Amino acid sequence: MLRHAPKFYEVAKRIVEITENCIVVAHNAQFDNRILKTEFKRLGFEFERKTLCTVELAKDLIPGQASYSLGKLVRSLGIPVTDRHRASGDALATVKLFKMLLDKDTTKNIIQQSIRLNPKHQMEPRHIDIIEQIPSITGVYYIHKADGEIIYIGKSNNIKKRINQHFTNTNQKSKKIQQQVATVTYEATGSELVALLKESEEIKRLKPIYNRALRRNIFTHALYSFKDENNYINLKIDIADGRKKSITTFSNRQSGKSFITKAVEDYELCQKLTGLYKTKTSCFNYDIKTCNGACINKELPEVYNQRVEALINKNSYKNKNMVIIDKGRDIDERSAILIENGIFKGLGYFNLNYQINNIGVLESIITPMANNRDTQHIIQNYLRKNKRLKIVTLN
């Protein structure tokens, strides 16, 4: 597509014409505006246009969305989109989104306050030099001051892209990082799970100044079980409480509710006994013949509980001895996360299968790491989202 596309100077005049006296609306306007200004600057032309960013507007007018990327946001809002990642498809989706935002803006703040002449500043030359040295890989990165002190630790599936965001964002924390950064170092992990575990451990150990708020609320809700007076195992999503033993944890209540809703379908569980349908009689699913009647004592507790226990065993590694196998840093390498008797012991990398099947060798390649509620949440959450992970059970 690019091979036969026109050069920028061939379309520059047309861009000036169609944007003159206009407000340019874009999803992540800072990026589009920066690219346009840079290209016009190379041609000796100062390109100045007022802009509106639908990402920022959506965060204000439609809070609480799981993601504000264009694709996920329009999908969650039921906005039809075709030809994604092409100019026409993305532009039309942005138009539809913007119209919805205008409708939601009853106080007309968009018109009165949100127009910005210069959405973002240009990156400083030293920031560009730092970014050029960073690869687009999965791993953990460390932002240092001139004296070597680590002021921020993060993880990303694309470190270069994430560092670029740090250097172009205009929130208070990003501005402070931009002022103090001297260099960025990184550690490739290959596996997102390894990156998450390393990030959590490093932050707790090194306590960087701009990570203070991180991990404070890594999970807010948990899944608990109890037996009722009829001997049925009930499940309940509740606020996480360290004093109680949970089956698994969630980043928010909605995540937990989504999990339970899917579990009811996958394991043929009762809506009433999972807290999804409050009633003193039968649940809705029983009325449509998809519940076997545990809600009205029609299904034997022993039979129903077997399915609940299968769900619990699937989503908890309590008392289990196993190795979670994930991507490595190279094609022929794999990462290994060791769980012994339900306790996270550490992680390492291996190239040959015998290294994980021989417990002595396995323990030697594992780097010990702390087991805590955060690591449990990270591992359980990752296991839920990545169904195809290879898991080796240890004797």
The alpha-helical segments, DSSP class H, found in the chain are 8-19, 29-42, 54-61, 70-76, 87-104, 109-113, 125-132, 159-168, 172-180, 192-206, 253-266, 284-287, 301-315, 354-357, 359-365, 373-385
Q: What's the pTM?
A: 0.61
Q: What residues does 142 pair with on adjacent strands? A: 153, 185
pLDDT at 18: 92
pLDDT at 352: 78
Contact call for residues 366 and 385 (beta carbons, < 8 A): no
Residue 11 gets the label, from left (phi > 0), alpha (psi -120 to 50) or beta, of alpha
Architecture of domain 8-113: 2-Layer Sandwich (3.30)
Query: Class for domain 125-211, per CATH?
Result: alpha beta
Task: Tell me the three-class secondary structure of 14-35, residue by residue.
Answer: HHHHHHCCCEEEECCHHHHHHH
Give the pairing type, strands 139-144 and 150-156.
antiparallel
Q: Which residues of the chain have pLDDT under 70?
A: 80, 84-85, 103, 106-124, 213-217
pLDDT at 337: 94
Contact call for residues 195 and 138 (beta carbons, < 8 A): yes
Cα 17–Cα 20–Cα 21 angle in degrees, nearest 5: 155
Whole-angstrom distance, CA of residue 333 vs CA of residue 319:
28
pLDDT at 123: 55
Whole-angstrom distance, CA of residue 393 vs CA of residue 180:
47
Q: What residues does 26 pair with on adjacent strands? A: 53
In angstroms, what is the C-alpha Rg of the chain?
A: 26
